[in-house]
Amino acid sequence: MVQKAERVGPSRNRGGNSAGKPIGNITRGTTNPNRMRRLDRWLAGPQAWRLRAAVEPLVVDLGYGASPATAVELFERLQAVRPDVRVCGIEIEPERVRSAKPLERPGLSFHAGGFEIPVPGRPVMVRAFNVLRQYEEADVPAIWQLVQSRLAPGGLFIDGTCDEIGRRVTWVALDPDRPLSLSLSVRFGAFALPSDVAERLPKALIHRNVPGEPIHTFLQAMDRAWLEAAPLASFGNRQRWTAMCRSLRDAGWPLQDGPARWRLGEVTVAWEAVAPLQTH
């Protein structure tokens, strides 16, 4: 059962959650095994230093859905980085938690809750994928702030969206103080133009893909660079995507990654370059 979206704002979050009611709404819960692989690969790659440096290697999968498969996958992938990692899957629907309990093992547990993240300790990573899409855009800052307030120093909150099988994926990364970056990750062959990923933009950006907004400008720049790199298609889409990214960087876009990530169909840009304008 999907809960009718309830507004989440500063008034609900101020002073904590004294009534004990989880903060958030029940989602559709649809998920598929291996759906989050592109993000997990990023967390276990460029962001692995955060987990290695953490005093307490606590990671939260927030709103993992009707199946705990992606939470189990996250645990197994991050174990390769930090064998003593502790992954807590959190769901607001109690029945989903009960169904996941048989999969618990040392380092992996499941809990009922919401954006307040009701687990001991401060997580170094929080993943919320396909969770915020049902909320109002106006609710996003308060949700971000609530989760950010729970992060450990140096922690990272990921607010992302993807298609049903993880071929088009986007996510915003935030530290305890501010948004850091937007990442786009696509499977070669799953798009005609890079801007096809727009339908999977996070809630903070999906309604901003209109002329005059920075995210629209960035996606259009990607499309132009992709088309200009068409002669490299005979060498493969990896070469073409890499050329596109180099062109974007040369044009002044503040890309935060390099060829090793580009070859995976991934690109990360500084948040300031794509952040929504204050007014439409």
| pLDDT tens profile 130-166 | 999 889 999 999 999 999 999 999 999 999 999 989 9
The sign of the torsion formed by the CA atoms of 53, 59, 62, 64 equals positive
Number of domains in the chain: 2
Helix (H, G, I), strand (E, B) or coil at 89: strand
Do 5 and 129 share a domain, yes or no? yes
Q: How confident is the model at residue 14 (pLDDT cuts 50, 70, 90)?
A: very low
Please count the CA atoms within 13 angstroms of the CA of 177 that sit on its side-chain side.
2
Is residue 103 in some structural domain?
Answer: yes
Do 100 and 4 share a domain, yes or no? yes
pLDDT of residue 278: 77
Do 90 and 126 share a domain, yes or no? yes
Do 54 and 153 share a domain, yes or no? yes
Range of the domain at 222: 194-280
pTM: 0.90
Is residue 255 in some structural domain?
Answer: yes
Query: Is residue 18 scored above 70 in pLDDT?
Result: no
Query: Is residue 5 scored above 50 in pLDDT?
Result: no
The CATH number of residue 113's host domain is 3.40.50.150
Do 11 and 137 share a domain, yes or no? yes
pLDDT of residue 17: 45
Residue 131: name the closest of 115, 149, 118 by CA.
Answer: 115
pLDDT of residue 33: 76
Task: List the single range of 48-57, 203-212, 271-280 with lowest mean pLDDT.
Answer: 271-280
Is residue 184 in some structural domain?
Answer: no
Average confidence (pLDDT) over 62-72: 93
Query: Is residue 27 scored above 80 in pLDDT?
Result: no
Query: Is residue 26 scored above 90 in pLDDT?
Result: no
Out of 177, 209, 244, a domain closes at: 177
Do 35 and 115 share a domain, yes or no? yes
Please count the CA atoms within 13 angstroms of the CA of 123 that sit on its side-chain side.
27
Is residue 154 in some structural domain?
Answer: yes
pLDDT of residue 145: 98
Looking at this protein, which amino acid is placed at residue 213? E
Is residue 189 in some structural domain?
Answer: no
Is residue 187 in some structural domain?
Answer: no
- Hey, what are 118's tokens? 């009701």
Query: Is residue 238 scored above 90 in pLDDT?
Result: yes
pLDDT of residue 30: 62
Helix (H, G, I), strand (E, B) or coil at 77: helix
Given strand 58-62, what is the order of strands in its sheet? 108-112, 86-91, 58-62, 125-129, 156-162, 168-174, 179-186, 266-270
Do 86 and 7 share a domain, yes or no? yes
pLDDT of residue 8: 59
Query: Is residue 219 scored above 90 in pLDDT?
Result: yes
